[in-house]
Amino acid sequence: MVQCAITRECDVSCMVWQAKNKILATGWEDGHIAIYSLNNQKLDCVYSNDKDHSGARLSFLMWNPMSSRLVSGDSAGVVRVWKSDSRGALSMYKQYKCNSATTAGVFSTAGHMQSRSDVLGHAFSPSFFYGTEDGKVYFADDLGHMTEVQALSSSVDCMKFYGDKSRLVIITRALLMVQLQVGDDGRVAPVMKVKLSIAGSGEKSIKQVVWAGPGLIAAASGENLVRLWNLASDENYTLSLSSAGRMVGRSDRIVSVAFNPVQRYLAAGTMEGKVALWRFVGELPSPVTTAAAEGGEGGEPVAQGSVKPEDWEPMAPAVTAKGAVTKVSWGPGRGLLCAGGSQGSSVLREDVLHRKISGSMVAIQLNSNLVRLERLDGDHFIQKCDINIRGIAVTETHLAVWNGSHCQVFEVQDSMCVAVSSHQTSAGCMAFSKDDSILRTVGSAVEICNYNGVVKKRISFSEGEGEPTHLDINGKFLAVATSNGQIKLFDLSKREAKTAGTNKNATGAPKQLGSSGKFVDSATGESLGSIRSIACNADGTRVSILSDHVHGALRMLEPDTRLHVYDADRDVVDNFNCTSRGRYPVSHFWDTEEPKLLACETTRIRAASSEAGGPGVAAPPAAAKEAADEGKEGEEGKDDEGKDGEDKSASEAQKQFIRTKQGDAAPTESEMEVLTLFVTTDFGVLMQDAFPLEAPFQALIGVQVPRLYFAGTKENEESGAGAGGAFGNGPFVMNRVLQDFIGLEDVDVDTRAALLDFSYYLTIGNMDEAHRAVKLIRNPSVWENMAHMCVKTKRLDVAEVCLGNMGHARGAAAVRLAKQEAEPEACIAAVAIQLGLIHDADRLYRECGRYDLLNQLYQASGFWDRALDVAETKDRIHLKTTHHHYAMHLEAIGDINGAVKHFELADTHRTEVPRMLFDLSQVSRDPKVLSKLEEYIAHSSDPELIKWWAGYCESIGQYDKARHFYHRAQNYFSLVRIACFNREIPRAKNIVEETNNAAAAYYLARYLEGMTEVQEAINYYAQSGCYNHAIRLAKNFGLDSELMSYAIKSRPSLMVECAVYFESKGEFEKAVQLYQKGGDIPKALDLCFKAGSQGRTSMFEVLKNIANDLDDQTSPQTVARCAEFFIEHGQFEKAVQLFMTGKRYVRAIDLCMQHKVKLTDEMVEGLTPPKETPPEGTSAADAAAMEEERLETLRALAKACKKQGAFQLACKKFTQAGDRVKAMKCLLKSGDTKNITYYANVSRNREIYVLAANYLQSLDWQNDPKTMKDIVLFYTKAKAWEQLSTFFDSYAQMEIDEYRDYEKALEALKKAATYMVKARTPDKEHLLANLQQRIYHIEQFVTARLNAKDDPAAMVRICHALLEQQDVESALRVGDCFALLIEFYHGQKNYDAAYKLIENMRSRQIVLHPYLEQDMIEEVHRMVGVPLVSEAAGDDGEVDDDVAEELDEEVDEVVSDEDEGDFKFGGK
C-alpha cells in the first residue's frame, strides 16, 4: 500500500533507513541530501542539504550501527562524515577527498574498532572502507584518518564486510569478487578472487548487493533473477522472477534488492515498477544470543550455514508508482519498505490482522481499518476506524486501536461503537485495565492514562532494564517485558507507597510483585532469544513467552520452537519444546481464572513439513510461518457443540476411523495445531491435549474454561451491515469444548474445578488422584475421557474401572481378554480399539512391535491395503494368511478376479479357486462359470490345479480331456493307469519307456504281474526302483542272474537276505559280496575264512577288498582277526593298517619295528593315540594310568621313527610325549638348523638351549653373524657360563688365526673371562687365571702394535719381553711378534738385527712365509750377505684341530636307545 511519496525533479540515487528509528536518509542525482522522519503516517523532512555535494551524484549513504554517524560519498570523490542527533538532523564532522568518484562504502566491525563503538556508543563510530571508480580501496574513520589499502584493476561496484571471518568483500565492475582479510589496524591482505558468471555481462552488471542471511549475499544484476552467493559454503544459486507471480512480467528485470532480517523478507525492485518479494522459510544455523552486535546494511553475519533455493518462498508482489524501482530499502521493525526510482519514492507497509478477547467481547481485525466486534452470545457488528490499525485492545465496554502515532478509543454499545477519544501517541503496545485505564509502552516507561490519553501514572524502567516492548494484562495482574529481556509483574489493584515530595492527591504506581526476572537460561545464564510476545496467567505468578532466535549482526530472526514460561516464584524460565512435533508456537493464551491452564497455537516447521508430509501432504503455506501469531489464517478441528458427550466421543472416533481408513495422515500432521498445557512448579510445562486446526476454524483467540475460542468462517452467513458486507462469511467467533468437559459445559463451579483437577491429574499421570477428583460424577463422558487418558498413560487397571462406570460391557470383556497378552501396550491397544481409538491402537501396536495384532486390526477395520503393507514389511510370517483373508473378503463382495489374484498370492489357489468357481457354478447354475474354471486352469501352469481338473474330467468319463490335462501336469502314473484300464498295454509301455517315471513303471509292473508276465514285471519293478518285488519274483521263479544284479542295487536288508540265499546254494563269492554290501562284515569274513580253509584262493582278494572297507566303526575283534590273517600271509603293511583301524597301536608299532614297515606321515598320525577325556566315574588313578599308557605308546612310536631315520617325526612324537630333550636330540640328528633354532626358542629348557648352542657351534658360525648371535643367546638363556666362556675363547682364537685381529680377540677374551667368573666349574680359578694371563699377553702385543709408529722403542721392548715369556704361545702366535720386529728393523735398514730375528724364528721351527713377505726375506739375506736357502712349507700353517669337524663327528655319533646321553662338544 502506498503511504506517501517524495517527488523531485531528479532521480534518487541512494537511500538508507536508520537501524533503530524510523528515519530515512536519501541521496539524489544532483547532490541533494535529505533526512525524513516517518510520523503520523507521513514523511517529515528534518534536514536537507544542497551545498556540500552540490552537483555531484550521491553514490552511497550509510548509517553507523548506533545511528550517530552518516557517511556519504559522491561522484566528485568527496566523502563526508556527518554527525546525527536523535531526530536525524545532520552536521558536518569530517571530510575526505580522493582523485576518483566514490562508488561504495561499508563499516568495519573488525578488532578493537567495534569494541570501542560498543563501549562509548555515540561518542565514537566504527571505521569504514570505501571504494572508487578507479579501483582504489580506502580505510577511514571519523577522526580524520584516511589511507589507501588496496588497488584493484576495475571500478568498485559494491562492498560488504564479512564479520564472521573479518573479511572485506568487494565486487568490481569487471564482475570480480575479491575477499580481503582485514586486520585490527585496517590493513588488508588478499584471500580469494572469483570471477562471477552473469548472463550478458557486457551490458549487465551488479546493480545492488545486500546481505540476505548469515554469510549469504544477494545481488541484483539487471537480469530476471536474483543471484545469491553463500560465502560460508562457497555455493551459489538464483531466485527467478517467474516464481514471483503473474503480476511480474517474464521480460522484467531486477535492478535493486533489499533484505529484512526481522521478517526474513527479500525484496527486489524491477524496471517495470514492481517489487517482488520472497520469504526465507528454511532452517538457519545455530542461533546466537540477543546480545550480538547490531549492524546495519553492512552488518556482521555471525553464523554460517548452507541455504538452498527451496528455502525461499515467493510472496505476492507489490506495485509502486510508474518507473523503474532503482532502489529498495527496509525500514526498522516489521513490514516497512521504501522503494525509489525515477518517478519518486514510495513507502510500502504490510498490514497484520489482530484478534483479541476480553471477557465476553471479541475484537477481530478484518482489514487495515475494519474491526468486527462480537460477543460470545453471538451478537456482532463491524466498526470502521479512521486510522490504519497496527494494534487493538478490547474490554467488555471499550475498544482501542492504534498505529504507532495515533490512538482511537471507542465505547461499545449494543450494536455499534461510539468514539470516545482520539489522541496522539507513539505507543507500540496497549492494554485496558479494569479501572478504566489504558496502559501503554512509551519510551522507557509504561504509562497509565485515561481514555483521552492523559497520563495518570508512569512505571519507569532504567537503562539497564531496557525499554518496555511488550505488556499483557490478565485480570488485575500486569506483565511487562523489556528490550533487554527483563520481565516484571505488577498487581494493578495495589499501589506502591508514595515517596516524599509527590503530589498529595496522586496515587502510587502499581505494586511490583517480587523482583524482576530475566529471560535467560537458568543453567547457563545465556539469553533465550528476542521476545516476540508475552501473556500473564490468572494469579500473576507466571508469564508465557514466545521468542525468536537472533542470528548475527543482521539480527535475522528465526522462530524459537519452545514455548517459555517464566515462573516468578522460582525466578526460572521453564519451556515446552515443540521440536519433537515438528512445530513452533505462534500464539498463546492463559485461562482467565485457572492459573495453570495455558493454550497455544502452533504451526508446522517447513523442514518438518517437507520431511513428515510425504506424498499427499502439502508443505505449509508461507503466511502461516510468520503471521500466524498475529492472527493470520489457520485451521482447527470442527466443534460438535450441541451433542451429548457420548455421541461426540463416538463421532470423534468415527472421524478418526474414516481418516485413517482413507489413508490420510495422522491428526497431528495438520498444518496448524492447538495444544492445551498445564504449568506447575512441581512438573513444569506438560501437554494436556493436542488437536489439529481444521476448517471452519482459522486461529486460536483465547481460552475460558470449558471452551476454547477461535476465529472461523461460517457458510451462508448473512452479510454484515455497511462496510462489512465483504466479510459476511467471517471470520467470526467460534468455540470448541475442552476434551474433558464434553457433555459438562454448563456444570457448577465446584464440578468445573473437579473436572480441571481431573484433567490436571490425568496430564501428570496420577490416575489415582484423577479418579478421586471425579468419583462422584456419574456422567459417562467423564469416565470415557479418563478411559481415553488411560490409553495414553497405559493404565489398564484404571481403564477397567472407567469402562465399568461407562457401562461398556464389551470394553470390560476386552480388558479381561487383553490381560493375556505379554506386552502392556498390546493390552492397552485392545482397550483403545473398544473405545474407537484406532489411531492410538495403531501406535501402541507399533510401539510394542506386535505387527501381527496390527495386521489383524487393519483386517478387522477393512484397511486391507495397510494390512497387506504391514504384512509385507513387518509381519511376513502372516503375509500369505493376509492375502488369503483378503481373497475371502473379495469373494464375499463378489470381486472374483481380485479373489483369484490374492488366492494365488496366498498360495491357496490350488484348492480355493476351484472351490470358489465350482461353488459359484453350482449356486448360479450357469455353465459359463464352469467354463471359466476350465479356462482358468487351461491358462494355468500349476501342476496341482491341472491334475485336479484332469481327475475331475476322468470322474465324469471324459478320458481324452483327462489324458490331455494329465499330460500337461506330467502325471504319467495316471496316464498309465488310464491306459491299463482301457487295456492299452503298448501305450502304457511307451509312456513308461519315454518318461522313465517310477510310479508309472510300478503300476505297469503290478498289472503285468497280475497277467503272469513275470520277466517284464521284474524289469518294470526294477525300473521303478522297487527291487524287493523284482527279487521276490526272481527267487520264486529261480532267476539267479537277475537276482544278483537287482540285489546289488537294493537296500541292505535285501542284500543280506539274498546273501543267505546264495550261501545256501554254495555260491560263496556272491554271498560274501552281498554280506559286505549289506553291512554284515563279520558274516562276510567268516564266510571268507571258511571258503579259504576249503582251498578257494579267490577269496583272498575278496578279503582284501573287505579289509579296505573296514573303519573305526567295525568291531575290534573283526579287525584283529583280519590283521592276523594278513600277517600269516606276509601282508605286514596291510596288517599295520588294520591294527591302526582297530586302535591296537602298540601291536602296529611292534609290527613296524619287526618287519621294517616304512612309517609315513599318515601312518604316524594314525598310530598316534588320541587324547580322550576319561568316562564319567573313572577314578584319578585309572585316568592317570590311561594317560601313562598313551604316553608310552607315543614314546614307542617316536623310537620307531628314530630308528627308521624319520627324525622330524620322532621329534614331534617325543614332544607330544612330553620328552622335549629327546625330541631335541632327534631334531639335532636331522640337521634342520631352522627348526632346531625354533624348537629351542619355544621349549624354554636349559638343557635344550645347551644342545642347540652346541649344535650351532658345529656349523660355519664364523661366517654367519646370526648363528653366532643364536649361540650366545642360547648359552645365555641356559646360564651355561662355562660353555659361553669357551665359545668366546674359541672366537678369540679364530680372530687371531684367521684374521690376526688381536683387538677383537682381546675383546672376546675379556667376555670369556667375564662369563667364566659366573661359571660354577671345579677348575674355575685355574681357567680364569689362564684367561687373565692370555688377556695380559694380548694387551701387551696390541700396545706394541699401536706404538710401532709413535714409540718404536717401547714396541721393541714389549715384543722382546713377550718373546722371552715361556707360555706366550698359548695367547698369541709368536710369529706375529717376530714379524712386527723384523718389519720394524727392515724399515730402519737394520738388516743384521732383522736377520738375527729370522734365524731365531727358524730355530723355533716357525715357518717364515705366513708371517713375512718373501721379498723382505730375500732383501735381508742379500744385505747381510747370506744366501737364502729355499725351505719347504711345513704343516704349521694348516690348522689341524678343526672344531667344526669334531662337532660334526660328535653330532653324527649314534646314541643307543638304552643310553640317551647328552651331546658334548669341545671348546675349539
Residue 296 has pLDDT above 50, yes or no: no
Give residues with Cβ within 8 angstroms of 378, minimum separation 6.
Answer: none
Which stretches within 996-1115 are classed as H helix?
Answer: 998-1010, 1014-1024, 1027-1036, 1040-1049, 1052-1064, 1068-1078, 1081-1093, 1098-1108
Which of 93-107, 281-295, 1216-1230 shows the lowest mean pLDDT across its residues? Answer: 281-295
C-beta separation of 710 from 636 below 8 A: yes
Residue 1 has pLDDT above 50, yes or no: no
User: What 3-state class would DSSP assign to 771?
Assistant: helix
Residue 667 has pLDDT above 50, yes or no: no
- Strand spans (E) along 331-454: 336-341, 344-349, 355-358, 361-365, 370-375, 380-384, 391-394, 398-402, 406-412, 417-424, 430-432, 438-442, 445-449
pLDDT value for 657: 42
Residue 1223 has pLDDT above 80, yes or no: no
User: pLDDT tens digits for 112-169?
Assistant: 444 444 444 445 678 999 999 999 999 998 888 899 999 998 899 888 888 878 889 9
C-beta separation of 1362 from 1355 below 8 A: no
State pTM to two decimals: 0.56
What number is the average pLDDT over the span 1256-1273? 77
Phi, psi angle pair for 692, to nearest 5°: -80, 155
What number is the average pLDDT over the span 1092-1098? 51
Tell me the pLDDT band of 1457, cut-offs 50, 70 and 90.
very low
Pairwise CA distance, residues 1063 & 1056, whole Å:
10
pLDDT value for 831: 82
Burial label, 539 (beta-carbon count in 10 A; 0-12, 13-18, 19+): middle
Pairwise CA distance, residues 123 & 134, whole Å:
33
Pairwise CA distance, residues 710 & 722, whole Å:
24
Residues pairing with 1238 in the sheet: none
Mean pLDDT for all residues in the chain? 78
Most confident of 7-21, 465-479, 926-940: 465-479
Q: Does an H or E element contain 92, and which?
A: strand 90-97
Burial label, 1351 (beta-carbon count in 10 A; 0-12, 13-18, 19+): middle
C-beta separation of 1463 from 1255 below 8 A: yes
Pairwise CA distance, residues 212 & 208, whole Å:
12
Tell me the pLDDT band of 1442, cut-offs 50, 70 and 90.
very low
Residues pairing with 236 in the sheet: 229
C-beta separation of 692 from 637 below 8 A: yes
pLDDT value for 608: 46
End-to-end CA distance of the chain, in Å? Answer: 117
pLDDT value for 140: 92
140-164 burial, b if ≥16 CB within 10 A, otherwise e? Answer: bbbeeebeebbebeebbbbbbbbbb
Phi, psi angle pair for 959, to nearest 5°: -70, -35
Residue 426 has pLDDT above 80, yes or no: yes
Give the chain's radius of gyration (CA, Å): 56
Residues pairing with 458 in the sheet: 447
Residue 1082 has pLDDT above 60, yes or no: yes
Query: Residue 1146's Cα: distance from chain center in Å?
Result: 65
- Strands of 136-140's sheet, edge to edge? 102-107, 128-132, 136-140, 146-151
pLDDT value for 1423: 84
Q: Which of 1342, 1244, 1331 is nearest to 1288 (CA)?
A: 1331
User: pLDDT tens digits for 810-845?
Assistant: 777 777 777 777 787 888 888 888 878 888 888 888
pLDDT value for 1324: 75
- Strand spans (E) along 885-956: none
pLDDT value for 663: 38
User: pLDDT tens digits for 190-236?
Assistant: 988 888 877 764 455 777 888 888 888 998 888 888 888 888 888 88
Show the cell assigned to 28: 539524489
C-beta separation of 713 from 731 below 8 A: yes
209-220 burial, b if ≥16 CB within 10 A, otherwise e? Answer: bbbbbbbbbbbb
What number is the average pLDDT over the span 748-763? 83
User: What 3-state class would DSSP assign to 1446?
Assistant: helix
Helix, strand, coil shares, percent, the chain, to 5: 40, 25, 35
Tell me the pLDDT band of 1136, cut-offs 50, 70 and 90.
low
pLDDT value for 974: 86
DSSP 8-state symbol, 552: T
Q: Measuring CA to CA, how many Å separate 154 from each of 36, 146, 197, 1118, 1228?
A: 35, 21, 16, 109, 91
Q: Note if the bond before 914 is cis, omega within 30 degrees.
A: no
Pairwise CA distance, residues 889 & 881, whole Å:
12
User: pLDDT tens digits for 697-721?
Assistant: 999 999 999 899 999 887 655 444 4
User: pLDDT tens digits for 476-534?
Assistant: 999 999 999 999 999 998 887 554 444 444 457 888 888 889 999 988 989 999 999 99
Q: Is 1231 left (phi over 0), alpha (psi -120 to 50) or beta?
A: left
pLDDT value for 126: 85
Tell me the pLDDT band of 568, cut-offs 50, 70 and 90.
very high
Pairwise CA distance, residues 28 & 1125, whole Å:
129
What number is the average pLDDT over the span 1232-1237? 77
Pairwise CA distance, residues 68 & 85, whole Å:
7
Sign of CA pseudo-dihedral 806, 807, 808, 813: positive
User: pLDDT tens digits for 391-415?
Assistant: 999 999 999 999 888 999 999 988 8
